[in-house]
Amino acid sequence: MLEGIPLFPEQASTLAPEVDNLYFFVTAVTAFFALLVVFFVIVFAVKYRDRTGEKVGAPITGSIWLELGWSIVPFLVSMAIFAWATIVFFHMVRAPDQTLEIYSTGKRWMWRFQHIDGQSEINELHVPLGRPVKVTFTSEDVLHSLFIPAFRVKADAIPGRYSSVWFTPTRTGEYHLFCAEYCGTQHSGMIGRVFVMEPNEYQAWLGGGGGMSMTARGEQLFQQLGCVSCHLTDGTGRGPSLAGKFGSQEALASGATVVVDDTYIRESILTPQMKLVAGYGPVMPTFQGLVNEEGLMSLIEYIKSLPAAAQPAVATR
């Protein structure tokens, strides 16, 4: 009769066994303590039962050693869980180098995925087996949360900023993809499938889609929006050169420094005055309303792809 009831989710990423081992450990520890207490409660309740209600118990007031013991032991046990769980967590948030990048936007009530090579899909996500994949996403309206149980990953999609999850699929197949943060009427309909494919099949699938790659689209936008006229690669433009800037530290006019990452680029396109690079004037107009979320992601992808220029950009003007 129990066959119909699944008790345990599939393990389909390198993170899944890590999470599951921790889960088993915590289950064992907590079950031990729970059963211990239940055992004593039952034994005492039966052994010392008094049907008359008129007797009195033994005059025991407490024991400092017992108190210390059952404070310190659980504390140490919980610290062990804490340490293990934190290690697993940092594996989850720290994506490895050289991931396959996929961009996504959540919007009531669908997920749209954009592959670098140009394919885009809705409520379906195709990924190759055995390769670390990083999905970077945001939301166009309310909070959402990208949740793939078989990979044991989840992160909220928050309007106005990027979140990401990463995973290395370890089994081909079809898995659930859920929105886990309540987002309104069709929240339970904001679901999809993740397809883990053999790498060659994935390549074939990619080829079948067509369309312009994100980098190409980003380049096109870079021209169309006129970014190119100020952000000259030799650093002589009215704006700083963007070549090789991705991932580097940039000094700001305010004296602070900032890491040039997805979020910073996005912010600089939409609210250029907010964090001005040192040495440049507040001349860039906002592109809010002129470029949508996917356009932004393409621009970021394009800027990422720019190699460092032969001549280092000089910021003295």
Close Cβ partners of 18 (under 8 Å, ≥ 6 residues apart): 88, 91, 152
Total residues binding another protein (CB under 8 A): 132
CA 9 and chain centroid, separation: 20
Q: Residue 37: in which H helix or E strand, if any? A: helix 15-47
Q: Per CB under 8 A, which of residues 106..125 are in contact with another protein?
A: 107-108
Residue 17 is a binding residue for another protein (CB under 8 A): no
CB of 204 to another protein, least distance (A): 27
Residues composing the chain: 317
CB of 218 to another protein, least distance (A): 14
Distance, CA of 234 to CA of 244 (rounded, Å): 11
Q: Per CB under 8 A, which of residues 258..277 are in contact with another protein?
A: 258-263, 266-271, 273-275
CB of 162 to another protein, least distance (A): 6
Distance, CA of 284 to CA of 241 (rounded, Å): 14
Using only the alpha carbons of the chain, give its radius of gyration. Answer: 27
Residue 223 is a binding residue for another protein (CB under 8 A): no
Q: Per CB under 8 A, which of residues 71..100 are in contact with another protein?
A: 71, 74-75, 78-79, 81-82, 84-99
**Terminal CA-CA length for the chain:** 78
Residue 13 is a binding residue for another protein (CB under 8 A): no
Q: Per CB under 8 A, which of residues 285..304 are in contact with another protein?
A: 288-296
CB of 124 to another protein, least distance (A): 16
Bridge-based pairing state of the strands 110-115 and 100-107: antiparallel
Query: In the set 12, 116, 129, 155, which binds another protein (CB under 8 A)?
Result: 155
CB of 200 to another protein, least distance (A): 26
Binding segment for another protein among 53-61, 118-126, 205-213, 235-243 (CB under 8 A)? 53-61
CB of 185 to another protein, least distance (A): 5
Supply the DSSP symbol for 155: E
Residue 24 is a binding residue for another protein (CB under 8 A): no
Contact 215/305 with Cβ under 8 angstroms?
Answer: yes
Kindly report the number of other CB atoms within 10 A of residue 16's CB atom: 21
Residue 178 is a binding residue for another protein (CB under 8 A): yes
